Structure 1
Amino acid sequence: MPTFLTPNRHGYSVRFSPYQPERIVCATSQYFGLAGGGTLFLLEITPEGNLVEISTFQWTDGLFDVVWSETDANIVVSASGDGVLQLWNVSCPQLPPQTFREHKKEVYSVDWSQTRQEQFVLSASWDCSVKLWDPNRPNSLATFLGHSQLVYSAMWSPHVPSCFASVSGDGTLRIWNSHVPQRATMTLRAHDAEVLCCDWCKYDQNILATGGSDGLIRGWDLRSFSSPIFEQKGCEYAVRRVKFSPHHFSALASVSYDFTTRIWDFKVSSEAIETVKHHSEFVYGLDFNNHVPGQIADCGWDSLIHVFSPRSLSALRPHLTLAPK
């Protein structure tokens, strides 16, 4: 299992490149994100199976999330505790980042649209807003207000242009049309607790999942939004991130403050089909490798990044149709 140590930096977000299956970027923070700066690590899995550093990028505040561009293999966008977004060219470590400065508090989530019709970035902030950005323009295109508490995550639909979901400390899941910033198109009380994360199913445009500080993962169908279509139980503490598999319709992965990474199949059981315990602190970052079926990366506050292939995923039959890029 390739592992990388980020000394004195605590992991918040890890992402595989959509272009190069061996490339990974990880956003980290000093002092658990409570103070100090942040470091972005560009890593590569070698043919020998080691995880090695290619370059690092420094910011004056903690980095909480990172996403790859869907149009340029060398561009990533990160988000920091001072409310700033940074656009980095990882092929030119000496260049300072392009910055986007409008949020008034921590930015906890960034996402790049995956549909070919549009190429925009979403940012979700503790100032209770979500903002829409064109990476080629210095000012945001729109601001989405409606959540009454901090927004933890905003994620584009991989299927429907202009559609995204957001989740918040107010317990709600909201669905938005990016062309209509005045109001959400759908609002649901998703958990009786803070909702920390969400993700869209890669094979059904109507299905998405939420994870809450109650330790629950719930699945939702936009065609029948009143009650969850599945509920996964077993996390002892908050679910920090949840991801649908790009290779299996009903498989998900999650990371939690209980130090675990869990694999789920909502068609099989409400309990995890595998629990991985290789972190000694909160696990924050999680991603699937689109190019390597069953391969996952995670990172946590123990300063470790792991790349691994859970046994349970190798036993699942891949979905017959390809997920969108």
Structure 2
Amino acid sequence: MDLVSFPLNDCHGYSVKFSPFIERRIACVASQNYGLSGSGFLFVLDLSPTNHLTLAVQSQWTDGLFDLAFAEDHPDIILTASGDGGIQLWDLKTPEVPKLVWKEHSREVCCLDWNQTRQQQLVLSSSWDRSIKLWDPKGTKSICTFLGHSDLVYNVTWSPHLPNCFASVSGDHTLCIWNSTKPGQPVVKLTAHATEVLACDWSKYDRNVIATGGVDGRIRAWDLRNTTAPCFELIGHEYAVKRLRFSPHQAHLLASCSYDMTTRVWDTRRLQPEVFAHHREFVYGLDFSCLSPDKVADCSWDRTVSIYTPPSVLNTE
């Protein structure tokens, strides 16, 4: 499997993302004391030609860090989300302190997403304060706030196909679809699971399909043209599904990670997964590389972040 890992010192991994500009670069955010107290750290790591992860940049924040987003318009800009309700904008050329801090959320910011359409640079944040906020990365305050969930908003993600469309999932069991130009109620709202919903991601190949992951351990895919029932369901995780990622390279591949300490790569045509159990604690972060078709990264509360090649990503049938 060609697994390469990097120790996160005494910090517990929360989120990992591949750079959209530098092929062999990832960034990971991790927090001391399981994010309950202490500082948060941003680790920027490069995969060397000899297949080792090396530290390129490290930054520290005064509170736990729970998610990050690479800028889509500059290779050295990263956003992080913190437990004090703040969002930090870092320039990796001067990583000692953030260039900008937004602090409008009243509770932990748990998810960030920078839009990928490149028509207009916009950022979404979601929080335990039950709100979603829209930001201009060059601005000093949010553009607008979206209120429609009745519980924590765990995940928010832009559609890769429709510039003004995004999705969110919440502890209120629902999946919502929003129009970013209309900050009223969601365009679509459906009960996705009988439990809290922690994760969602859009298909990169079908504009109408989005997957959700719940505390029930189930992954469900929804076709927004008919939401009366899931278009498929993946059952196998023993505990909550923390994060989902559709492959940007193969339409039938979907990765998931879970509190059951596994990462799985599913073939949605056969509803069967490859199971990877190299972590010893909850797996919190997960990403496919958009530049390297054979690379997946994950991070865990076991204080490690890993890059590897699942056999399924090499099968292009």
Please give the per-residue CA displacement for 1:14-60, whole angstroms capped at 9, x wherever unaligned: 00000111111001110001111100001100011000101110000
**Structure-2 residue corresponding to 1:15:** 17
Distance in 2 separating the partners of 1:51 and 1:284: 19
Residue 288 (structure 2) pairs with residue 288 (structure 1): yes
Distance in 2 separating the partners of 1:290 and 1:262: 18
**Structure-1 residue corresponding to 2:138:** 136
The 5 Å alignment of 1:96-107 reads 96-107=98-109
Distance in 2 separating the partners of 1:193 and 1:214: 6
Q: Pick from 132, 153, 163: which aligns with 1:151?
A: 153
* TM-aligned CA deviation for residue 95 of structure 1: 4.2
Residue 61 (structure 2) pairs with residue 59 (structure 1): yes
**Structure-2 residue corresponding to 1:323:** none
Distance in 2 separating the partners of 1:229 and 1:197: 17
Please give the per-residue CA displacement for 1:74-116, whole angstroms capped at 9, x wherever unaligned: 1011101000000000122234331001000000000000112
Amino acid at match of 1:160: L
Distance in 2 separating the partners of 1:299 and 1:151: 21
Amino acid at match of 1:304: T
Distance in 2 separating the partners of 1:190 and 1:36: 35
Distance in 2 separating the partners of 1:42 and 1:203: 29
SS at match of 2:14: strand
Structure 2, gaps ≥5 residues long: none
Please give the per-residue CA displacement for 1:296-323, whole angstroms capped at 9, x wherever unaligned: 0000000011100011221233xxxxxx
Distance in 1 separating the partners of 2:80 and 2:98: 13
Amino acid at match of 1:287: D
Amino acid at match of 1:131: K
* TM-aligned CA deviation for residue 166 of structure 1: 0.3
* TM-aligned CA deviation for residue 267 of structure 1: 1.2
SS at match of 1:312: helix
Distance in 2 separating the partners of 1:231 and 1:47: 39
Q: Pick from 206, 214, 224: which aligns with 1:222?
A: 224
Q: Pick from 14, 26, 29: which aligns with 1:27?
A: 29
Structure 1, gaps ≥5 residues long: 318-325
Residue 213 (structure 2) pairs with residue 211 (structure 1): yes
**Structure-2 residue corresponding to 1:320:** none
TM-score by length of structure 2 reads 0.98
Distance in 2 separating the partners of 1:88 and 1:33: 20
TM-score by length of structure 1 reads 0.95
Equivalent pair of 2:59/2:97 in contact (CA under 8 Å): no
Count, aligned residues: 315
SS at match of 2:34: helix
**Structure-1 residue corresponding to 2:316:** 316
Residue 297 (structure 2) pairs with residue 302 (structure 1): no
Equivalent pair of 2:73/2:118 in contact (CA under 8 Å): no
**Structure-1 residue corresponding to 2:74:** 72
SS at match of 1:96: coil
Distance in 2 separating the partners of 1:180 and 1:257: 35
Distance in 1 separating the partners of 2:63 and 2:96: 19
**Structure-2 residue corresponding to 1:179:** 181
